[in-house]
Amino acid sequence: MRVDRLEFRAGADQASLIPLAGKDFRGEAQMLSGNHISQHYGSAGLSQRIVSALRKAGKSLDSLTVEDLAPLDQFHTRGLAATRELVGFAGVKEGWRILDVGSGLGGPARVFASRMKCHVTGVDITKEFCDAASLLSTLTSLDDVTEFHHADATALPFDDAQFDLAFTMQVQMSIEDKERFYAEIFRVLRPGGRFAFQDIMSGPGGEIVLPVPWATRRDSSFLIALDELRAILNKRGFQVEKLDDISAEALTWRKQQPVAAGLAPSPLGLHIVMGEQFATMQSNQITNLEQHRVTYVRGVMIKPM
């Protein structure tokens, strides 16, 4: 497939979705609340930089695989391994309709879709991520089972009870209105649907060392403690099925996999997205973990029948 003939645009034939008619999902309040996220992650020319990096790394653009893209599109701790584990942890079944909230470059969505023969819809507040995610799904021949929409996670553009599973991979740290965030996820799940996540919480060790991958300023980081998260999820109506602390695994990976963790040079990596500060951000996360300033958790919640 000739990349120079592809259209760099955000995803998606929306015919398979049921949007809420007559409702403005991107109102002024939502736009303002998402501005700091878009400003932090967005950058012009991202899709072109990714294609250039893939070529320089010797990847064939005619036969890209999920594994080829993993150093670049698995934008979370423990990368592809963590995504694959979340598939099993969440109890995903073939054919499910799945929502990836904060889908980034679409890496986890493609893993879920390809491993479990599911259709995955991604939403992200950063348009450049949606553009790149759509491109990468085309290059991996997964554009028929994944689609990506530029949308606000606190105002999801879907009708009630549309999805069997929703998942997030290290997203809520960037979202101030957590009550609305989790209320929206609850709303779009069908009764009996599941919500799975890997996330970063505040720890007992004090304020985090900055910069980190999700924030360069304190006023754009919205970490909460695990007890607060549990209370919000309970208030929204979720029932806890599993909730595990995976901080030890996160720290071990960061120390033992310096290239994957962005701490050593690599032709493919998230420095292509985040720029020169990314190695510092990742190094600070080791400090934050070692000093118990953050904790990592993985969980599965159920929306009651």
- Model pLDDT, residue 33: 47
What would the two tokens of residue 165 be?
């599973």
Per-residue burial over 129-144, b = 16 or more CB atoms within 10 Å of its CB, e = otherwise? bbbbbbbbbbbbebbe
- Model pLDDT, residue 274: 82
- Total number of residues shown for the chain: 305
Report the alpha-carbon distance of residue 175 to residue 205 in Å, rounded.
Answer: 22
Report the alpha-carbon distance of residue 238 to residue 231 in Å, rounded.
Answer: 10
Count the alpha carbons within 13 Å of 137 in the hemisphere toward its beta carbon: 34
- Burial category of 220 from C-beta neighbours within 10 Å (exposed 0-12, middle 13-18, buried 19 and up): middle
- Model pLDDT, residue 5: 34
Ordered mean pLDDT values, 10 residues apiece, the chain (305 residues):
37 37 38 51 79 94 95 93 97 97 98 97 96 98 98 98 98 96 98 98 98 94 97 97 96 79 68 84 94 98 98
Work out whether the CA dihedral 172, 177, 181, 183 comes out positive or negative: positive
Strand 239-245 and strand 294-302: pairing?
antiparallel
Q: How many CB atoms lie within 10 A of CB 287?
A: 14
Helix axes 66-73, 79-90, angle to 10 degrees: 110
Q: pTM above the 0.75 mark?
A: yes
CB 124 within 8 A of CB 130: yes
The SS3 assignment for 276 reads coil
The CATH homologous superfamily to which domain 24-302 belongs is Vaccinia Virus protein VP39 (3.40.50.150)
Report the alpha-carbon distance of residue 187 to residue 159 in Å, rounded.
Answer: 8
- Burial category of 105 from C-beta neighbours within 10 Å (exposed 0-12, middle 13-18, buried 19 and up): buried
- Model pLDDT, residue 73: 94
- Model pLDDT, residue 273: 85
What would the two tokens of residue 286 be?
């080791």
The SS3 assignment for 91 reads coil
- Model pLDDT, residue 25: 38
Tell me the longest C-alpha to C-alpha distance in the chain.
52
The 8 Å CB, 24+ separation contacts for 262-265 are none
CB 246 within 8 A of CB 297: yes
Report the alpha-carbon distance of residue 183 to residue 149 in Å, rounded.
Answer: 19
Phi then psi for 183, rounded to 5 degrees?
-65, -40
- Model pLDDT, residue 271: 81
- Model pLDDT, residue 302: 98
User: In three state form, how does the secondary structure of 114-159 look?
Assistant: HHHCCEEEEEECCHHHHHHHHHHHHHCCCCCCEEEEECCCCCCCCC
